[in-house]
Structure 1
């Protein structure tokens, strides 16, 4: 697991040096203002004439940036110098943990947590202006309550449909996979004539045609990353429209900072995602995502973050399937717990160890029937 450098220093001057020069240039005097994405940089081109976005763009330097804006920042998109300097203690503690593990020959959170501190932004959400996700609709609340997964506190486990796609090492889902986790945050972009390929260090690869014309999928086919089509805009921006996203995975993963807990943010078949990858400097891509799903959300929302090139970043195998006994262990342990509770008179019905999977759940949820 590659650990990124922790970049914040003891003073604001050092913190300013820690974040990218591009990000610093965008900080306005009015901290409650979000400037438009810069459009004056002209990237190099590939041999076939497309803007050249190839390279490695790990998300460690935005892993501490929450999706939802914490209340302490009010209506500000940006932190003050004093707020940046106050983050120093946590960074020093993590640096010390990493050094101690090396010295003692142990592996713990110091090696697992990857991020670079010093981010001036207060949230990934830039619209609505309050930096907060909009409210769920009544249907969104209903579907959220039906979702299952190992992250949900107090849930019972009897079959594979009690686990989400991430638990089962299938996919983090989309757009969740485009946002940072606590580790394996690598993103690598490849290009060929007519295509852009986005390789994710954790579970999956996106293949995006960029002809500007939709390549039709057969009726009835959806995908965990959806059906994406791209086009080049203004010589420095890749715009990608994605629909037909397989419902089931959470919209945001629970370990991405500043999102609702339990990994149960639902998605409907009407979800539509528009991404804009804008090269704003030789080593910076501004990534914007417009998300709309009127079945689930009361209003659309937009996130914006900056990606920083780091071609020295190494991908590490995310060997989730090897020795993945957790699904079985969860079921065995949970059934044993319920048997013990029944024996103490705290449950109404005993657990039948030979019982078939539970009846099909509401079709609005992911877990229908005996799916693997």
Structure 2
């Protein structure tokens, strides 16, 4: 009888323990909010748009391994189109990297809506994107070159928002206080300051990374960014366009001791036929965040301009 009673009590205790386990609950900061602080990395072979090699959002582990084990030169054949394309360099920089896993499934793109994994450009958006690409190929002076070439902010949209993974420099440090959350990224050492419970300034104030304000909603930090700088509309060299009048809404949620789910929605009627939504995952990193000496090592920009002047001189000499 005692044994039966003991087993019944034990079963009840175990059932209560299972019921109380529930979803992961992040540790708290001094204000009682989820603590997002620490070092994180978004390094992955997964891209914003789905490469031609895949037709679905998730693939089996076997399909993922086959994709991950290709030779570096094979990644050059997966561009989405003829403007930009991250994978042209991914094979060189991310040897050994994997497709990201969210909920245990290998993701072929960050885009979850539209479900085809393609950005829903309008005709006007496509035309504006082509104009921006052409303008940034102009070598008349430094100001016509891209912001990443000029070491103003990170390329590949790594600085965001939205913050996308580049082939390298994907370390981020999050520091939160009562009034703000700071996101420091390795690439070009950009720092986004998210002001909590604040309001956007007038439309004439347009920082390089836009104006970000945030609020806590349960287990998530929700960030709304507007007031984008038109000088950073064209995200090179991946070729994505976000107009100065766009609104990006981000959600940061810790889903485990070493994982941070990053979700965002882009609402930009000037460029797209509809809002689009994506999910990324950041993994905890031991770091460190290395020095990113962009200006000190920026030998390419003088070379680009010098090469353009040489081509002009050669053309004049040939009577063209």
Q: Normalized against structure 1, the TM-score is what?
A: 0.67
- Find the counterpart in structure 2 of residue 146 from structure 1: 131
Give the direction of change, closer, same or farther, for the CA distance of 1:58–1:115 in structure 2 (3 Å limit).
farther
Query: Does the aligned pair in 2 maintain the 1:239–1:275 contact within 8 Å?
Result: yes
Q: Distance in 1 between matches of 2:166 and 2:72?
A: 21
Aligned residue runs from structure 1 range 15-54, under 5 A: 40-54=23-37
Shift of 1:250: 4.5
For residue 181 of structure 1, what is the aligned residue in structure 2? 166
Shift of 1:46: 0.9
1:84 to 55, 61, 64: 64
Cα deviations by residue, 1:160-210 (Å, 9 ceiling, x for unpaired): 122011110001365267111111110111111121110000120011122
Q: How far 1:145 moved relative to its partner?
A: 3.1
Alignment of 1:224-303 (within 5 A): 224-234=208-218, 236-254=219-237, 259=238, 263=239, 265-303=240-278
Q: Structure 1 pair 221/115, CA: closer, same or farther in 2 (3 Å)?
A: farther
Q: Find the aligned partners of 1:156 and 1:220 in 2 and give their Cα distance.
A: 27
**More strand as a share of residues:** 2
Instruction: Decide whether aligned partners of structure 1 residues 48 and 200 sit closer, same or farther in structure 2, where only a CA change above 3 A counts.
Output: same
Alpha carbons 1:248, 1:266 under 8 Å: kept: no
Q: Which residue of 1 aligns with 2:312?
A: 338
Q: Name which of 54, 77, 98 aligns with 1:117.
A: 98
Instruction: Name the CA distance, whole Å, in 2 between partners of 1:250 and 1:171.
Output: 12
Cα 1:334–1:276 change in 2 (3 A) is same
C-alpha offsets along residues 143-166 of structure 1, whole Å, 9 cap, x if unaligned?
A: 32332689x6xx441111220111
Distance 1:91 1:324, change over 3 A: closer
Point out where structure 1 has 5 or more consecutive residues left out of the alignment. 1-38, 94-108, 348-372
| Pairing 1:220–2:204 present | yes
Whole-Å separation in 1 of the counterparts to 2:194 and 2:69: 42
Paired residue for 2:187?
A: 202
Displacement of 1:323 in angstroms is 4.8
Q: C-alpha distance in 2, partners of 1:165/1:129?
A: 31
Checking the alignment, whether the CA contact within 8 Å between 1:166 and 1:249 is kept in structure 2 is no
The alpha-carbon distance between structure 1 residues 289 and 166, as it changes in their structure 2 partners (threshold 3 A), is same
Q: How far is 1:339 from its partner?
A: 1.9
Partner secondary structure for residue 339 of structure 1:
helix
Aligned twin of 1:355: none
CA RMSD of aligned residues (A): 2.8
Paired with 1:194 and 1:121, the residues of 2 have a C-alpha distance of: 35
Q: Where does 1:91-130 land on structure 2 (aligned, <5 Å)?
A: 112-113=93-94, 116-119=97-100, 120-130=106-116
Structure 1 residues 162 and 126: alpha-carbon distance in aligned structure 2, compared to 1, 3 A threshold: same
Does 2:293 correspond to 1:319?
Answer: yes
Report the 3-state secondary structure (helix = DSSP H, G, I; strand = E; otherwise coil) of the residue aligned with 2:187: coil
Matched-pair contact (CA < 8 Å) for 1:91–1:117: no
Q: What is the aligned partner in structure 2 of residue 73 from structure 1? A: 54
Residues of 2 paired with 1:180 and 1:339: CA distance?
Answer: 39
Rounded Cα–Cα distance in structure 2 between residues aligned with 1:281 and 1:77:
22
Counterpart CA distance in 2 for 1:52 and 1:307 is 14
Q: Offset of 1:328 from its aligned partner?
A: 2.7
Q: What does the per-residue CA deviation read over 1:33-92, in whole Å, with 9 as the maximum and x for residues that have no partner?
A: xxxxxx9321111122221111111111x2x10211134432x21112331232353379
From the superposition, tell whether residues 77 and 110 of structure 1 become closer, same or farther in structure 2 (CA, over 3 Å).
closer
TM-score normalised over the length of structure 2: 0.77
